[in-house]
Chains A and B, each alone.
Chain A
Amino acid sequence: MRITTTVNGESRQVDDVWPGESLLYVLRERMGLPGSKNACEQGECGSCTVYLDNVPVCACLVAAGQAQDRDITTVEGLADGEDLHPVQQCFVEAGAVQCGFCTPGLIVAAHDLLAREPQPSDPEIREALAGNLCRCTGYEKILDAVRLAADRMATT
């Protein structure tokens, strides 16, 4: 089947999509957007988190056909050209990236949190990131990065 979607502001069309494949597969393998990571394929790890019509979801659990005519934003769509989004910049500065595999999903989840709640409490940060696993267990630095991003976004 043919799928037409808007991805990171651009209209994209792909053909010969198998109806049972996931949006994640479409993004990575058919559109060449490997930012969203493929790990658990069962909604446990959050590494494939993308926005679907401005709502964060696990791309591995969206059937390709369900993305038809929808608006998708992946981690690749958050930076402004060469300028990283403050959430991305703060992950770098806080040392919140170890192996980096979980980072794209965490960036999207943190980006959504700060859009909804610009000054989140620690429990709110933990709750918002509860669906994103870091197997390097670098959570403390990740929390630092989100707090830093909240502060920076409040002053700019």
Chain B
Amino acid sequence: MDFLQPRSWAEALEAKAAHPGAVPIAGGTDVMVELNFDKHRPEALLDLNRVDDLAQWWTEDGRVRLGAGVSYSRVIDELGDTLPGLAMASRTVGSPQIRNRGTVGGNLGAASPAGDAHPALLAAEASVEVASTRGTRSIPIAEFYTGVKRNALEPDELVAAIWVTPPSGPQQFSKIGTRNAMVISVAAFGLALHPDRRTVGTGIGSAAPTPRRAPDAESFLAGELDWDGRRELADSVAREFGERVRAAASPIDDVRGTAAYRLHSLSVMARRALAWAWHDYQRAA
């Protein structure tokens, strides 16, 4: 097995083009588990830790460009005000040690339906910048996930960055698991209110083959919310929103939970996340 250690983004893309079977490794929090248990022996590892560009983030024309190699700890410390939904989700990742190493780009590369970053990215309508020696392209986040642990990357492509326009309204994230720390989600839900365009963003985690949005719930809620008057949210609206989020999921039974539990918990988390977000929106008036 080769160990490829590019020193620049251009070198990284050349290495991936020359070794399409190479597995990119950043924080190693997924890749090393596979190697330690000998589940997978790739032809090469492509270490991205030395590519400084990947560990940067900046704001450009009102959009955040989050380098694929920025750790969860840094998202929490540096982007809590700008991208609160993603920061909330990042706080629930693993443990301090895991958050120090794990990256949002790695979550996208692994494309697990249980990845904690996905619901927040879906709710914010992020896009993924991917690149190869052939060029760069942008993939809307909802089109990035193509199957269980599968994504839209071509074999010669790497995730360069995630672009997110900070939602103009409150964001929330809710995750349920067997305990409060060190837990893979049994189900998760992300919500963003976009009052500037009067739309709602959602993201469902661990309750379908891929992370996914709940479009019917989004359009229902966007039409029901009192965007200008910010009046109290009717309980019936919150419940209906929860039901429509539930209807968008298609979970399975597995070791972490049953499909029925996931569906129920999603409807509850969606209702609660909405109540929290609406409360924030009212207070911000």
List A residues at the B interface (Cβ < 8 Å): 1, 18-20, 22, 41-44, 46, 49, 55-58, 60-63, 65-66, 68, 109, 112, 127-128, 130-133
Contact = CB atoms under 8 A, between A and B. Distances in A.
A56 B100 contact: yes
Contact of B33 (A1, A61, A132): A61
Contacts of B6: none
B1 interface: yes
A43 B45 contact: no
Contacts of B96: 56, 109, 112, 127-128, 130-131
| Shortest 10 CB-CB contacts between residues of A and residues of B | A131-B95, A19-B3, A130-B181, A41-B36, A65-B3, A61-B32, A61-B28, A42-B33, A20-B35, A131-B97
Contacts of B25: 63, 66
Interface in B1-38: 1-3, 5, 25, 27-29, 31-33, 35-37
Given A55-B73, A61-B33, A127-B96, 10 more contacts: A18-B1, A19-B3, A56-B97, A56-B100, A57-B97, A61-B101, A62-B28, A63-B28, A65-B5, A131-B95
Contacts of A56: 96-97, 100
Contacts of B2: 19
Interface string B97-119: 11011000000000000000000
B215 to A, nearest CB: 35
Contacts of B97: 43, 46, 49, 56-58, 109, 131
Interface string B121-162: 000000000000000000000000000000000000000000
Given A1-B3, A65-B45, A66-B25, A41 B37 contact: yes
A130 B101 CA distance: 16
Overall SS of chain B's interface: mixed
Contacts of B182: 44, 130-131, 133
B100 A55 contact: yes
B94 interface: yes
Contacts of B27: 61
B230 interface: no
A65 B32 CA distance: 12
Q: Which of B1, B3, B100 has the most CB of A within 10 A?
A: B3
A127 B94 CA distance: 11
B1 A20 contact: yes
B68 to A, nearest CB: 16
A63 B32 contact: yes
B82 interface: no
Contacts of A44: 182
Nearest to A50: B97
Given A19-B1, A130-B95, A41 B41 contact: no
Given A58-B98, A66-B49, A130-B95, A22 B36 contact: yes
